Amino acid sequence: MPDPVDLLRLVTEAALASPWLLAVIVGMAVVDALLPVVPSEALIIAAGVASAAGEQDLPAVIAAAAAGSFLGECVGFLIGRRIGPSVRRRFAAPAARAHYDRAARLLDRRGGTVLLTARFVPAGRTAAALASGATGYPAARFAGYTAVGSVLSASWQALLGFVGGAAFAHDVVPALVVGFAFASAVGMTLAGIRRARLHREPGRGLPAGRQVQHEVSKPDATITGAARS
């Protein structure tokens, strides 16, 4: 009977060497930008590990991940742009509308910082893209900052896997474990810093029951944290 660990290693190595891996990365990155529950980051790190082993081309992995992320975030922006006016009309109360208008002002002043850094916080890029569209952030500026940010995040993830793969060239499984653990630790650290800063800010709490307002205001918290970084 084959050893389960050896079997896992063989299956993983075969998957990472597949010529279809880059296409899968693009598709998963698109979906992940809209639905952050899809683990495209793990796949990109794994592809970076495969690059260190010579099974994939590192620049191609980065390009595929960046392209998928950019496309997905642009779709999120268009969705936000489509629903933005109706969302604002639902904010009849002055306090509720103030949240919306504050998000729009902060995006206008510091949108570049938000779009570049929110992607390193769990679900940050999804919220930032939707809020940018909903608040009328200029499409050309969004596309420019998102293109740069997509390349930065894709490079970070792929290089993380590449370094792990180089350090554990004899075995792909430890390289994947180390890469995933480090990426998760960085993401949780950034999220913790953002929450800590958010709790120190007065007036950031949201009224209960305002789900749509929460979705628009969540990038506001990201903006505040990113701008102070």
For 3, the enclosing helix (H) or strand (E) is: none
Structure tokens at 10: 């063989």
The count of C-alpha atoms lying within 13 angstroms of the C-alpha of 87, restricted to the half-sphere facing its C-beta, is 26
Residue 119 has pLDDT above 50, yes or no: yes
**Which range of residues forms the domain containing residue 41?**
4-228
Measured CA to CA, the distance from residue 31 to residue 40 in angstroms comes to 8
At residue 131 the predicted structure's pLDDT band, cuts being 50, 70 and 90, is confident
Work out the mean pLDDT of the chain and round it to a whole number.
74
At residue 135 the predicted structure's pLDDT band, cuts being 50, 70 and 90, is confident
Structure tokens at 105: 């002002």
What are 19-33's pLDDT values in tens digits?
788 998 999 999 999
Q: How far is CA 33 from the centre of its chain?
A: 6
What are 192-220's pLDDT values in tens digits?
665 666 566 544 444 333 443 444 444 44
Amino acid 96: pLDDT? 59
Split into its structural domains, the chain has a count of 1
Measured CA to CA, the distance from residue 199 to residue 47 in angstroms comes to 37
Amino acid 142: pLDDT? 94
Measured CA to CA, the distance from residue 190 to residue 194 in angstroms comes to 6
Amino acid 167: pLDDT? 66
CB 32 within 8 A of CB 72: yes
Measured CA to CA, the distance from residue 209 to residue 115 in angstroms comes to 27
At residue 95 the predicted structure's pLDDT band, cuts being 50, 70 and 90, is low
For the segment 28-46, the average pLDDT, to the nearest whole number, is 85
Amino acid 225: pLDDT? 43
For the segment 36-40, the average pLDDT, to the nearest whole number, is 78
Nearest to 120 by CA among 201, 65, 186: 186
